């Protein structure tokens, strides 16, 4: 998908000089992937201590699967 972005020229130059990022589009796509992954990790970390997990979750899972069979 084509789009127009206003990106700092020096920043883009620095990114495209890194190994494996000679193409501007590939460099931007990789940066966006890493950004999304980082944000997802932050969301998971924010959930730490807020989600209760049954200690016997494997037994619960196996029991639920056993009922459907």
- pLDDT the model gives residue 48: 84
The SS3 of residue 69 is coil
- Between these two residues, 28 and 57, which has the higher pLDDT value? 28
Q: Is the pLDDT of residue 58 over 50?
A: yes
Q: Is the pLDDT of residue 64 over 80?
A: no
Q: What is the 3-state secondary structure (H, E, C) of 20-64?
A: CCCCHHHHHHHHHHHHHHHHHHHHHHHCCCCCCCCCCHHHHHHHH
User: pTM to 2 decimals?
Assistant: 0.61
Q: What is the DSSP letter of 3?
A: -
Instruction: Residue 27: count other Cβ atoms within 10 Å of its Cβ.
Output: 19
What is the per-residue pLDDT across 3-55, written as a single tens digit (0 to 9) for each?
Answer: 898 999 999 888 888 888 778 888 888 889 999 999 999 999 998 888 777 67
Whether 25 contacts 31, CB under 8 Å: no
- pLDDT the model gives residue 69: 46
């Amino acid at each position: 998908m084509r789009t127009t972005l206003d990106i700092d020229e020096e920043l883009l130059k620095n990114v495209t000089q890194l190994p494996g990022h000679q193409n501007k589009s590939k460099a931007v796509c990789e940066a966006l992937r890493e950004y999304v992954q980082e944000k997802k990790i932050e969301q998971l970390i924010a959930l730490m201590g807020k989600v209760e997990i049954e200690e016997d979750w494997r037994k619960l899972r196996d029991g639920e699967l056993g009922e459907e069979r």
